[in-house]
DNA sequence: GTCTATATAAGGATAGAC
DNA sequence: GTCTATCCTTATATAGAC
């Protein structure tokens, strides 16, 4: 029994450290991007050595994949927690707002991959692809409901709406507005939502 | 006199090769992005050796900067050639359409820098910054005219409109639509324009 | 000015001691 | 399981011959 408790404690500590690693990786991905995030940096930030890091994640690709899976799961969870009273369009808007706030708070956008390298890497990560597909199906259903209710432009193909929607979560204008405009985070979120659904006109 | 002609010929050949290098770099930046574009690849594609490549451009950053300057100049030139009859909004729409077609044809988006690394690099390139600023001023004037004429949402700050506009030229949804939707290039351009100015609603 | 050959540096990944 | 020390590959950049 004592042995089992001891193992359990170890496992708990292991799990805690794993979360710390994922947190650090997420922060660094958000600030520096995939290519400039080094395993040395992550290990240093967490306060462990590189070989220890590799005991948790067998490669950099694996680590990044897990961080993104956690993010997608957060989005799915946020979708599931929404009050039943919201319309499909309100759900889409609410999730985008959530994603923008996560990002402005130092987190990651989903669809972080404007780079073909990262995109290909993620495509080979079957667990990641499965999660993204699950989220994609839920969002596709919302888009169809919103279109049927006249809340989204029915002349636009589903794919166009969905990919444009994803693209807004990783829109570089957020970074530029933060750098070069006087808007605070609240105003940035509000502007992005308005531009997304109502356009520039 | 003969010597001067000879030098002139050499210079011409040098200039031609320089254009070939920039063409190759542009194609590779568009397809692989900054980090995966190697100087070896560029030299190989042009058919010269790496040291020769470094006779033309003193660094990878320099080469990429020149390629992007050429691109921005193309945009400025396209703006200048527009018929005088176009309204400010039509000019903005026309330039975005041009940028999207350039990109779909294997070229580059301006504002290629969703990566902080590339963005910082370009910020240090004063010649590039100067060109971008020139284009930015022209577009800002167009945005203000369009707003005054009621052709753009006056409730949106200029910065929001401008950065969102730039972001549409490098929108990752273009890549995803090409990969995963049935739309041809014409339909993609039309959809992107509609989404940009009228939103998803 | 062009090449072959090489210096140099960064970073992903691991061997082996404890 | 954790560390120190190291390997190995890749890619930028250059030295030096012709």
CATH classification at residue B184: 1.10.357.10
Q: How far apart are CA A25 and CA B4, in angstroms?
A: 59
Any A CB within 8 A of B167 CB: yes
| Confidence bin at B86 (pLDDT 50/70/90) | very high
As for how many domains chain B has, the answer is 2
Residues 49-78 of A with CB under 8 A from B: none
CB A136 within 8 A of CB A63: no
Share of chain A above pLDDT 90, in %: 79
Q: Which residue has the tokens 């390139």?
A: B125
What angle, 0 to 180 degrees and rounded to 10, lies between the N-to-C axes of helices B172-180 and A158-169? 140
Residues B51 and B70 in one domain: no
Closest by Cβ to A161, choosing from B113, B160, B200: B200
pLDDT at position A109: 73
Residues A52 and A67 in one domain: no
Q: Which of A104-108, B16-20, B51-55 has the highest mean pLDDT?
A: B51-55
Q: How far apart are CA A50 and CA A127, in angstroms?
A: 25
Q: What is the pLDDT of residues B134-184, one digit of tens each?
A: 999 999 999 999 999 999 999 999 999 999 999 999 899 999 999 999 999
What are B173's two structure tokens? 């949804």
Greater confidence (B94 vs B17) lies with: B94
pLDDT at position B197: 98
pLDDT at position A180: 93
pLDDT at position B111: 65
Model confidence at A7: pLDDT above 60: no
Structural domain of residue A33, as residue ranges? 1-57
Interchain pair B180, A160: CB under 8 A: no
Model confidence at A36: pLDDT above 50: yes
A28's enclosing H/E stretch is helix A2-32
What are A22's two structure tokens? 């994922």
Greater confidence (A104 vs B112) lies with: A104
Model confidence at A67: pLDDT above 60: yes
CB atoms near residue B19 (< 10 Å) = 10
CB B103 within 8 A of CB B174: yes
3-state secondary structure of B42: helix
pLDDT at position A183: 97
Closest by Cβ to A198, choosing from B172, B175, B201: B201
Residues B34 and B79 in one domain: no
Residues B98 and B183 in one domain: yes
Integer-rounded Cα Rg, in Å, for chain B is: 19
Q: What is the pLDDT of residues B20-45, one digit of tens each?
A: 999 999 999 988 889 889 999 999 99
Residues B13 and B38 in one domain: yes
pLDDT at position B31: 86
Residues B128 and B169 in one domain: yes
Give the pLDDT mean for A36-57: 95
Burial class (CB in 10 A: 0-12, 13-18, 19+), B94: middle
* Domain limit, last residue, from A11, A37, A57: A57
Model confidence at A1: pLDDT above 50: no
Q: How far apart are CA B145 and CA B150, in angstroms?
A: 9
Residues of A in contact with B32 (CB under 8 A): 116-117
* Domain limit, last residue, from A57, A79, A104: A57
* Residue B97 Cα to chain centre, angstroms: 12
| Confidence bin at B8 (pLDDT 50/70/90) | low
Closest by Cβ to A199, choosing from B31, B115, B196: B196
Nucleotides of strand D within 7 Å of the protein's CB atoms: 1-5, 10-16
Model confidence at A4: pLDDT above 60: no
Interchain pair B201, A151: CB under 8 A: yes
C-alpha closest to that of B153 among B190, B197, B193? B197
pLDDT at position A33: 86
Residues A46 and A127 in one domain: no
Residues A129 and A46 in one domain: no
CB A197 within 8 A of CB A93: yes
Q: How far apart are CA B70 and CA A126, in angstroms?
A: 40
Give the pLDDT mean for A133-150: 97
Give the CATH number for residue B31.
1.10.10.60
Residues A5 and A65 in one domain: no
| Confidence bin at B7 (pLDDT 50/70/90) | low
Residues B38 and B95 in one domain: no
Alpha carbon distances (Å) from B140 to A118, B74, B82, B161: 34, 18, 17, 9
Q: How far apart are CA B82 and CA A198, in angstroms?
A: 27
Q: What is the pLDDT of residues B98-129, one digit of tens each?
A: 999 999 998 887 666 667 788 889 999 999 99
Q: What is the pLDDT of residues B72-85, one digit of tens each?
A: 999 999 999 999 99
C-alpha closest to that of B30 among B129, B102, B136? B102
Model confidence at B5: pLDDT above 80: no
pLDDT at position A142: 98
CB B134 within 8 A of CB B76: yes
Residues 98-157 of B with CB under 8 A from A: 111, 113-117, 119, 151-153, 155-157
Q: Which residues of B155-164 are buried (b: 16+ CB within 10 A; e: fewer)?
A: ebeebbbbbb
Q: How far apart are CA B118 and CA B112, in angstroms?
A: 8
* Domain limit, last residue, from A57, A82, A105: A57
Residues A71 and A131 in one domain: yes
Give the pLDDT mean for A83-96: 97
Model confidence at B95: pLDDT above 70: yes
What angle, 0 to 180 degrees and rounded to 10, lies between the N-to-C axes of helices A39-46 and A2-32? 130
pLDDT at position A119: 87
Q: Which residues contact B151 (CB under 8 A, 6 or more apart)?
A: A201, B87, B88, B89
pLDDT at position A15: 82
Residues B138 and B66 in one domain: yes
Strands (E), chain A: none
């Amino acid at each position: 029994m004592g042995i089992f408790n001891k193992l359990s404690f170890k496992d708990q500590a292991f799990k805690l450290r794993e979360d710390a690693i994922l947190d650090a990786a997420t922060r660094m991905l958000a600030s520096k991007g995939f290519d400039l995030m080094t395993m040395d940096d992550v290990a240093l930030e967490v306060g462990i050595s590189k070989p220890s890091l590799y005991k948790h994640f067998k490669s950099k690709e694996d680590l990044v994949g897990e961080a993104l899976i956690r993010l997608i799961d957060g989005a799915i969870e946020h979708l599931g927690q929404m009050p039943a009273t919201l319309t499909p369009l309100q759900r889409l808007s609410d999730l985008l707002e959530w994603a923008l706030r996560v990002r402005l708070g130092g987190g990651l956008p989903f669809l972080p991959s404007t780079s073909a390298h990262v995109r290909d890497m993620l495509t080979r990560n079957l667990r990641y692809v499965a999660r993204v597909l699950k989220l994609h199906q839920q969002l596709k259903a919302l888009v169809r409901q919103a279109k049927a209710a006249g809340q989204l432009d029915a002349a636009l193909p589903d794919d166009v709406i969905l990919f444009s929607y994803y693209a807004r979560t990783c829109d570089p204008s957020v970074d530029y507005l933060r750098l070069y405009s006087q808007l605070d985070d609240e105003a940035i979120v509000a502007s992005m939502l308005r531009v997304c659904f109502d356009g520039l006109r």
